[in-house]
Amino acid sequence: MPQGRYVEDEFDRDTDYIEDRITEDGRDGWPVEPDRYRLVVSRACPWANRAIIVRRLLGLEDVLGMGVCGPTHDARSWTFDLDPDGRDPVLGIERLQEAFLARYPDYPKGITVPAVVDVPTGQVVTNDFPQITLDLSTQWTKWHREGAPDLYPDHLRAEIDEINEWVYTEVNNGVYRCGFAGRQASYERAYDRLFAALDRLEERLTQRRYLVGEQITEADVRLFTTLVRFDPVYHGHFKANRNKLSEMPALWGYARDLFQTPGFGDTIDFAHIKAHYYVVHSDINPTGVVPKGPDLSGWLTAHGREQLGGRPFGDGTPPPPPRPEETVPAGHTVTA
């Protein structure tokens, strides 16, 4: 479930996260160190999906381990039900909640992914999802793979930050305002606001390949994880149904371009995505029935975005294929 509250029947996301940062200088008491921390994610979650993608693109697999929770959870916490005996093999815990309580025994807020856990102590360090990916780009540079792209270039940061703030408010969170609206009027306001934003993005991406600059940046990662969930989940489950993503030419081409880029589509588990939303959100879908569709084969069709120029990784190179233990299971995604 999303962590939030209702203000005049409109969904308002709780953004009160643990704001400690893992930095090169260790200013918050958490210095960057290889093999010290574990990134805990669920492939179902769009916020966690960002961290999975950035970790892949930067090549941090050798220094930052990743624990993957299952697609569903109960009121207490995300669980490691994909692992043998239902425990994370490194942290030895059944629930992410245990890492939060290890640090804050009376932790009163939501247990969210992504979260970074300090392996020696078993304590959560941070679940501040917007900052986690920025710090992977800017604080872990010593451990980036050779050829890692610069996802947050100095000269573009102001524009990236502006786009990120707007996309978060209007699109990333906009779909949730539609899905969790408490009244008809609230839903219709959210619906109009979301599609006004998507129309604005459609116009922007008609003339340019990426959101900011000539290569993939943090801004593209943040938009992609919402777009890839749009037709499978948000269109039906959240009633964001003016049209499908596949009916918006520029956005659909842009999303396919990224999906077919190494590090993006190979992180997507459509089975987990659908199971999470349709099972966990029992107030919206009380039957728990998970839809069989939509047809996902279109994600691999030609997009033609190369004609707009740009280079996906700038002066960098694509990441290698995902490790076998981190590969999305066959049948859960779209493969050539």
Whole-number pLDDT of residue 1 = 40
* Helices and strands (DSSP H and E) totals, the chain: 9, 6
pLDDT at 4 over 70: no
Residue with tokens 């573009």: 156
Whole-number pLDDT of residue 335 = 81
Whole-number pLDDT of residue 139 = 98
- 69 labelled catalytic: no
CA–CA separation, 233 and 199 (whole Å): 19
Going by C-alpha positions, the residue among 295, 312, 201 that lies closest to residue 251 is 201
Whole-number pLDDT of residue 5 = 45
- Average the pLDDT over 5-30 and give the result: 78
Q: Flag whether 249 is in a domain.
A: yes
Whole-number pLDDT of residue 6 = 45
pLDDT at 57 over 60: yes
pLDDT at 11 over 90: no
Q: Flag whether 195 is in a domain.
A: yes
CA–CA separation, 28 and 31 (whole Å): 8
Q: Flag whether 170 is in a domain.
A: yes
- 234 labelled catalytic: no
Structural domain count, the chain: 1
Q: Flag whether 176 is in a domain.
A: yes
Check whether 78 is labelled as a binding-site residue.
yes
| Span 82-133, pLDDT tens digits | 999 999 999 999 999 999 999 999 999 999 999 999 999 999 999 999 999 9
pLDDT at 3 over 60: no
Whole-number pLDDT of residue 75 = 81
Locate the DSSP E strands across the chain: 4-7, 10-13, 37-42, 65-69, 115-118, 123-126
Going by C-alpha positions, the residue among 256, 276, 274, 272 that lies closest to residue 336 is 256
Which residues have CB under 8 Å from 36's CB, separation 6+?
A: 118, 119, 120
Provide the residue type at 274 as one letter: K
- From the list 17, 37, 152, 176, the catalytic residue is 176
Q: Flag whether 274 is in a domain.
A: yes
CA–CA separation, 200 and 293 (whole Å): 28
pLDDT at 33 over 80: yes
| Span 199-257, pLDDT tens digits | 999 999 999 999 999 999 999 999 999 999 999 999 999 999 999 999 999 999 999 99
Percent of the chain's residues with pLDDT above 90 = 92
| Span 259-272, pLDDT tens digits | 999 999 999 999 99
CATH number of the domain at 274, please.
Answer: 1.20.1050.10
Q: Please, are residues 35 and 65 in contact by the beta-carbon 8 Å criterion?
A: yes
Whole-number pLDDT of residue 76 = 84
Q: Flag whether 82 is in a domain.
A: no
Spell out the alpha helix ranges (H) of the chain: 46-58, 97-103, 129-138, 157-167, 174-179, 184-207, 218-227, 249-259, 270-275
Going by C-alpha positions, the residue among 212, 168, 217, 229 that lies closest to residue 194 is 168
CA–CA separation, 169 and 104 (whole Å): 29
Q: Please, are residues 204 and 212 in contact by the beta-carbon 8 Å criterion?
A: no
Query: For the CA atoms of the chain, what is the radius of gyration?
Result: 19
Q: Please, are residues 97 and 77 in contact by the beta-carbon 8 Å criterion?
A: yes
Residue with tokens 């769009």: 46
Confidence of residue 184 (pLDDT cuts 50, 70, 90): very high
Whole-number pLDDT of residue 252 = 98
Q: Are strands 4-7 and 10-13 parallel, antiparallel or unpaired?
A: antiparallel
pLDDT at 8 over 70: no
Whole-number pLDDT of residue 63 = 98
Q: Flag whether 273 is in a domain.
A: yes
Please give the mean pLDDT across all residues of the chain.
95
pLDDT at 14 over 60: no
- From the list 17, 37, 45, 277, the catalytic residue is 45
Sign of the C-alpha dihedral computed for residues 215, 217, 223 and 227 taken in this order = positive
Q: Flag whether 2 is in a domain.
A: no
Whole-number pLDDT of residue 16 = 83
330 three-class SS: coil
Instruction: Give the residue numbers spanning the domain of 170.
Output: 156-282+299-326
